[in-house]
């Protein structure tokens, strides 16, 4: 009989490219009809990081993973599984997780990618945690890694100002305490609204409809206003559901909320509707913009490193994005 285990968050790490791109570069260097003031007041973003030459989801993901493995007090040899969430893989095949496995020098362990856009990290966390809970893996590496600026149309002011590159990673480990660590993960999707965020590729059958400047196959396409409304509605639902989950699981409440770092106005609107206290929310989108699947693990790593959350806290992670997908995880640190 399989012995079910608790799933502890044992280590975290992140990696951001060195190149900082402040808002004024969109006007000064790219001649875009926008302004630092518009971007700051409509999104909360002040700057973001752009991957440099040779930096990819795999290289950033490998560096973030090394930091997570170090912070867990383990070595690459201890890892039994790698799950990487990305919508900007280095290659269609092999997976970014395979490249990370090679980069870290891990044993011949299973490694694969998950595609769920900005919810990807929580989807990956769910899959990896089930390997740990059943005893199929002792230590797993979960990575969110993106270079979304490589799919961005820098003539489209509606979308190009939003995104940044980076990677975050966590190590999950089995613990005999069933009520430790990951307490609840909720995952959702609605493919009927797939057109709201898309990144076509060479295998996309027909060029998707859209304005002429977005006809290039590999450009990210976004209906910002509709996504804004979807994100607020789902974030409110996820927070309210997590508060119910806390009561049912006997947890005293949410100490820190780490939302997908997408737009300060989305976060503010959701906090107001759900009456969730803003002082309990971790935000770093002003520095990094929206890094898609990497945003939640980067913010989680920063929250832990800066003492924003500490052992004993209950943390709620919340994410939403293309698919459409939305998701949450309640973790007792």
Minimum gap (Å) between residue 158 Cβ and ligand COA: 5
When the beta carbons of 75 and 194 are compared against ligand COA, the nearer one is 194
Please check whether residue 255 is in contact with residue 82, taking contact to mean a CB–CB distance below 8 angstroms. Answer: no
- Sequence-ordered list of residues with C-beta below 8 angstroms from that of 175, at least 6 positions apart, any chain: 5, 6, 7, 8, 181
How would you class 7 by CB atoms within 10 Å of its CB: exposed for 0-12, middle for 13-18, buried for 19 or more? Answer: buried
93 is catalytic: no
Locus of tokens 């990370």: 100
Lookup: tokens for 135? 């005893």
Nearer to ligand COA, 34 or 67 (CB): 34
> Which of 43/65 has CB closer to ligand COA?
43
For ligand COA, the binding residues (CB under 6 A) are 34, 38-39, 42-43, 118, 157-158, 161-162, 197, 222, 224-225, 227-228, 262-263, 290, 321
Q: Which of 67, 98, 290, 309 is catalytic?
A: 290
Q: Which is nearer to ligand COA, 136 or 283 (CB)?
A: 283
CA 179, chain centre distance (Å): 25
Residue 25 has a CB neighbour count (10 Å cut-off) of 16
Minimum distance between the CB of residue 226 and ligand COA, rounded to whole angstroms? 8
118 among known catalytic residues? yes
**CB nearer ligand COA, residue 43 or residue 67:** 43
Inter-CA distances, 84 with 68, 99, 127, 222, Å = 14, 10, 11, 23
In angstroms, what CA-CA distances link 308 with 148, 225, 261, 303, 304?
Answer: 27, 31, 16, 5, 6
CA distance 2 to 174: 13
Non-local CB neighbours of 262 within 8 Å, separated by 6+ positions: 118, 162, 231, 285, 290, 295, 320, 321
List the catalytic residue out of 260, 263, 284, 309: 260
DSSP string of 154-196, one letter each residue: TT-HHHHTTB-EEEEEEEEEEES-TTSEEEEEEEEE-GGGGGG
Report the nearest approach of ligand COA to the CB of residue 316 (Å): 18
Nearer to ligand COA, 89 or 289 (CB): 289
Of residues 246 and 296, the one with the C-beta less far from ligand COA: 296
290: annotated active-site residue: yes
Name the closest residue to ligand COA (Cβ): 224
- Please state the closest distance from residue 143 (CB atom) to ligand COA, in A: 19
CB of 180 to ligand COA, least distance (A): 31
DSSP letters spanning 248-316:
HHT----SEEEE--S-HHHHHHHHHHHT--GGGB---HHHH-B-GGGHHHHHHHHHHHTTSS-TT-EEE
CB of 86 to ligand COA, least distance (A): 15
* Closest separation in Å from C-beta 104 to ligand COA: 29
- Return the bridge partners of 82, or none: 111, 141
Partners of 259 in the β-ladder:
318
Question: Which among 84, 118, 160, 309 is annotated as catalytic?
Answer: 118
- The residues that are catalytic are 118, 260, 290
């Amino acid at each position: 009989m399989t012995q079910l285990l608790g799933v502890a968050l044992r280590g975290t790490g992140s990696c951001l490219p060195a190149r900082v791109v402040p808002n004024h570069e969109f006007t000064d260097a790219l001649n875009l009809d926008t302004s630092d003031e518009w971007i700051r007041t409509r999104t909360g973003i002040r700057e973001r990081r752009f991957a440099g030459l040779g930096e990819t989801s795999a290289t950033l993901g490998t560096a973030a993973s090394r930091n997570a493995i170090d912070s867990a007090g383990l070595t690459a040899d201890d890892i039994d599984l790698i799950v990487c969430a990305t919508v900007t893989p280095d290659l269609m095949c092999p997976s970014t997780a395979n490249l990370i496995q090679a980069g870290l020098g891990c044993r011949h362990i299973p490694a694969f990618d998950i595609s769920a856009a900005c919810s990807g990290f929580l989807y990956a966390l769910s899959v990896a945690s089930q390997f740990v809970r059943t005893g199929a893996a002792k230590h797993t590496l979960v990575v969110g890694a993106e270079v979304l600026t490589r799919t961005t149309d820098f003539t489209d002011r509606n979308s190009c100002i939003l995104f940044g590159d980076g990677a975050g990673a966590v190590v999950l480990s089995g613990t005999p305490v069933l009520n430790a660590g990951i307490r609840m993960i909720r995952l959702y999707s609605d493919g009927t609204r797939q057109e709201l965020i898309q990144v076509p590729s060479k295998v996309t059958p027909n060029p998707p409809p859209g304005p002429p400047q977005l006809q290039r196959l590999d450009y990210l396409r976004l209906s910002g206003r509709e996504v804004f409304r979807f994100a607020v509605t789902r974030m409110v639902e996820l927070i309210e559901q997590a508060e119910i989950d806390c009561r049912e699981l006997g947890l005293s409440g949410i100490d820190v909320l780490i939302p997908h770092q997408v737009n300060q106005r989305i976060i503010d609107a959701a906090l107001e509707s759900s009456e969730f206290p803003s002082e309990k929310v971790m935000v770093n989108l002003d520095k990094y913009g929206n890094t898609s699947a990497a945003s939640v693990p980067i913010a989680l790593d920063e929250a832990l490193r800066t003492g924003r959350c500490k052992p004993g806290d209950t943390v709620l992670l919340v994410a939403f994005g293309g698919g459409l997908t939305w998701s949450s995880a309640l973790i007792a640190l």
